[in-house]
């Protein structure tokens, strides 16, 4: 969940307070649901709220095995996912924490690492959430994560020294202007909704937050799927994971997040591109960088400099793919070329949509019920793979307004491929092979 131009503000403050999935045959299956506006909420407000959140949030493996409800090894784990009904910006995955397990929805975010949820007691600095608060005192499997654990955010502060007796690692993680704070714990997480489909994973390190900014409506926390050791992907030792994001304005369908060997893409139309090595410095080390060489609209290649999206030696620039950001942002030099190309193909009058949508290029449709005109597909040219976006994946309409669902940022800042452009795309992250694969799909039918 990056904030593109505000990435430098993604930070973690930790301080001491005193007082993986090892089985190569197992995998985790999690349902995904999009955070979505309720009936009667116009698409323009949905996008405006999503953009606001985008700007506000950026931002040693064990030998454990997944265990099914009867204690035997499980080959697949599933949990339903759904859209964020109040807001419309992110996709939620549903999982359960503790013993007995308490189900809660969390934002699925490939742009961060920490897994966290709000914990009781939680006072005035907690946001309202749709699920009951998790109370560690009510779980028989909760433990404070030892400060010298390889998964402790405080292990660096110890510098190899033994931790003080009763040590607890407190954190304050900031995503742009959004933040969450609490203590690191260890807990059993349960995946899957049906009894026959459930799998329990003990000893997952997570954040037990008792104070957060009020910017997480529709969820009860966040699940980091990034490249760091604290992410769910790394803690499960999953190796690869995949998802298929349902259409942005589909309020009913769910899709699936798979972690482990079951995550795969088969058939025709699959394209693959290598990840670019991430900078070693946090937070850039968390992100999945891609090498974007150019953009075409229809058959026309846009005159964008080939190094516009290059990742610099100092960690600036580059382009990441992020499931926790809604609207794609492009370095300004590239965005202006895209904007001009789209504008040249549309004969509708332009209107100022910045107030209603937060987007820069908008057109007025003849009426609120008018269908937008036909537009050619947009192609993102990655190393060895072209990602073809139909018009519905780069334009958005609603309430008589039709807008380019992209935004610009200062040259030199990081570009982000958001989840709006990932809709109806089956995407596979192969962490071990360092590749991203994708294929067009009807995600609401999978």
Catalytic residues: 109, 322
Encode burial over 50-72: b for 16+ CB neighbours within 10 A, e otherwise: bbebbbbbbbeebebbbbbeeee
Q: 443: which DSSP letter? A: G
Q: Which residues contact 279 (CB under 8 A, 6 or more apart)?
A: 285, 311, 315
Q: What is the DSSP string of 276-340?
A: EPPPSSTTGGGS-EE-EEEEEETTEEP---TTTTPBPTTS-B-EEE-TT--SEEEEHHHHHHHHH
Diameter of the chain by CA atoms? 70
Alpha-carbon distance 106 to 116, whole Å?
8
Helix-strand-coil split of the chain, %, nearest 5:
15, 35, 50
Three-class SS state of 22: coil
Distances in Å between the alpha carbon of 139 and those of 6, 65, 93, 127, 253?
38, 21, 21, 22, 32
Per the structure block, which two tokens stand in for 258? 């798979």
Encode burial over 174-212: b for 16+ CB neighbours within 10 A, e otherwise: bbbebbbbbbbbbbbbbbbbeeebbbbbebbbbbbbbbb
Pairing of strands 255-259, 102-109: unpaired
Measured over the CA atoms of residue 438, residue 60, residue 199 and residue 98, the dihedral's sign is negative
173: closest CA among 209, 142, 149? 209
């Amino acid at each position: 969940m990056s904030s593109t131009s505000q990435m430098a503000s993604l930070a973690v403050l930790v301080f001491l307070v005193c007082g993986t999935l090892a089985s190569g045959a197992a995998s985790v299956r999690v349902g995904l649901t999009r955070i979505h506006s309720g009936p009667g909420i116009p698409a323009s407000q949905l996008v405006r709220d999503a953009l606001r959140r985008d700007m506000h949030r950026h931002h040693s493996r064990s030998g454990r095995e997944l265990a099914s409800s009867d204690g035997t090894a499980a080959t697949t784990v599933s949990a339903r996912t759904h859209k964020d009904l109040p807001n419309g910006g992110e996709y939620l995955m549903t999982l359960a924490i503790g013993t007995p397990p308490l189900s809660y929805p969390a934002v699925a975010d490939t742009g961060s690492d920490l897994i966290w949820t709000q914990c009781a007691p939680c006072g005035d600095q907690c946001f309202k959430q749709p699920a009951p608060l998790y109370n560690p005192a009510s779980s028989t499997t909760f433990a404070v994560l030892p400060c010298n654990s390889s998964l402790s955010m405080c292990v660096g502060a110890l510098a190899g020294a033994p931790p003080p007796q009763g040590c607890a690692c407190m954190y304050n993680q900031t995503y742009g202007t959004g933040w969450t704070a609490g203590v690191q714990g260890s807990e059993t997480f349960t995946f899957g909704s049906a009894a026959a489909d459930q799998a329990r994973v003990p000893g997952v390190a997570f954040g037990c937050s008792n104070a957060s900014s009020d910017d997480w409506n529709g969820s009860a926390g966040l699940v980091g799927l990034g490249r760091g050791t604290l992410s769910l992907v790394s803690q499960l030792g999953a190796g690869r994971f995949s998802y298929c994001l349902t259409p942005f304005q589909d309020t009913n369908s769910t899709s699936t997040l798979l972690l482990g060997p079951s995550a795969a893409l088969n058939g025709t139309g699959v394209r693959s591109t290598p990840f670019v090595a991430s900078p070693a410095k946090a937070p850039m080390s968390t992100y999945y960088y891609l090498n974007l060489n150019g953009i075409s609209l229809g058959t026309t290649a846009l005159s964008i400099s080939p190094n516009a999206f290059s990742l610099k030696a100092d960690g600036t620039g580059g382009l990441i793919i992020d499931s926790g950001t809604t609207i794609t942002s492009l370095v300004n030099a590239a965005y202006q070329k895209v904007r001009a190309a789209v504008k040249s193909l549309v004969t509708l009058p332009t209107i100022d949509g910045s107030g209603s949508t937060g987007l820069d290029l908008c057109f007025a449709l003849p009426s609120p019920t008018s269908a937008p005109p036909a537009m050619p597909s947009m192609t993102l040219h990655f190393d060895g793979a072209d990602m073809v976006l139909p018009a519905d994946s780069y334009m958005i309409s609603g309430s008589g307004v039709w807008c380019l669902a992209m935004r610009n940022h200062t040259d030199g800042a990081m570009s982000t491929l958001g989840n709006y452009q990932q809709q109806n795309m089956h995407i596979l992250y192969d962490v071990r092979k360092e590749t991203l694969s994708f294929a067009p799909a009807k995600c609401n039918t999978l």
